[in-house]
Structure 1
Amino acid sequence: MTTATETPRSAGRPRTAVLSRERILEAAFKLADVRGADFTLAALARNLDVRPSALHHYFASKDQLIAGMRGQLTSRIGDHGFDTLPWHVAILDWARAYRLTIGAHPGIIAALATLPVDDELESIIDYERIASAMLRDGFPEHRVVPAIVAIESFIIGSALDSLAPEDNLRPVENATLAPHLTEAEHAARAYADAQSRSAAIETFEYGLAALVAGLRSTTLQ
């Protein structure tokens, strides 16, 4: 029951959705998928039908917003058992999940790859989990960060490569100038077909296995 001085609440839902961190990040991903990382906070505010100042309550700058986007993607990637599995086993499923997760948002990949991880909690926890597993398994301390960067660089490149045509490396008009490359490209696609995989996935799996095996050999150096 309301008093004479109270204003009754209107029935039903509010006309506009309540702004939240999650809603801002969701809209930012949608905008980045269309416009890439060059979008502005003003454009994001227009898509959300709010003033730019409303976004600053959640993200003081675009860099903070990008960091939040990376944190959300990191949460989607998941743990994959670094606490219990050997690092070189856990890293395989982690890398696969990482590639799929960032591959779903190619427009933001470059920004995610170049922004420092400082003060972005989810990524710091994720990298710490990997580093701890590697050190626990005897990986040389001075090689841990270069190894993580090498693996992540490969994943990011593979995510971008998955957007290219399957036969991106196949000579067409100049095939006669590169007979070995032409046959090798054909053989690679035929092998991928025999494994019931796309050429991009087969390439990723081959490269990931080779990279991890090579990094494991550095434990002796």
Structure 2
Amino acid sequence: MIPQSHPKLHRSEFTLGVLAGGSGIRAGRRDKGLMIAKGRTLLERTLERYGKGFEEVVTCCRDNAWFYSRFSSRVLCDVEPGQGPLQGLSALLAATQTQYLAVIPCDQYSLPLDWFERLSSALSSTVIGVFATDGGTHTPCCVLHRDVHSQVNALLKQGKRSLMALYECEGLAHMAVPGAGMDIDHTDALHGVIRKPPQ
């Protein structure tokens, strides 16, 4: 039998999920999506750089749903705050109406512009999810088939909240993507947001 290549996937076939449910402890407990850099919020900058071409944007937030609704098709609120990125991924996967979900944090600012193409090119009949890593840093930036939802929920039921636990699940992979680990941990990092993103 001749091996069949996985068909190239386009952004229009994915829901874009935005994770905005963190507590922002290192940023003074501020909602990072609302933080301002050069007159625009981090969410606006993130979507402008990395969100083009997606038919639907769904945001999972902790607070300020009124703000996120201006930039999203739908907004989900954390029902159990403080449960980490796996809780947000579970909510986004449950809400996606497409077969696939692409995920970025609301304060992402240094991804290459072809981040989606890089990650989605690794999907196959056996690889149903790909996470971006950056120099050993594990990130929630990923592309996932909605079937990953059952794996995420199984981990949550076991009390696991770490992305590392999800990486070890069958059918999931990771790929080095320079800049994927660059997000805002404190206000001093805001100056990096205004730089031109890597190509």
Q: TM-score scaled by structure 1?
A: 0.24
Name the structure, 1 or 2, with higher relative contact order (CA <8 Å, separation 6+). 2
Q: Which has the larger radius of gyration?
A: 1
Q: TM-score scaled by structure 2?
A: 0.26
* Structure ranking higher in strand proportion: 2
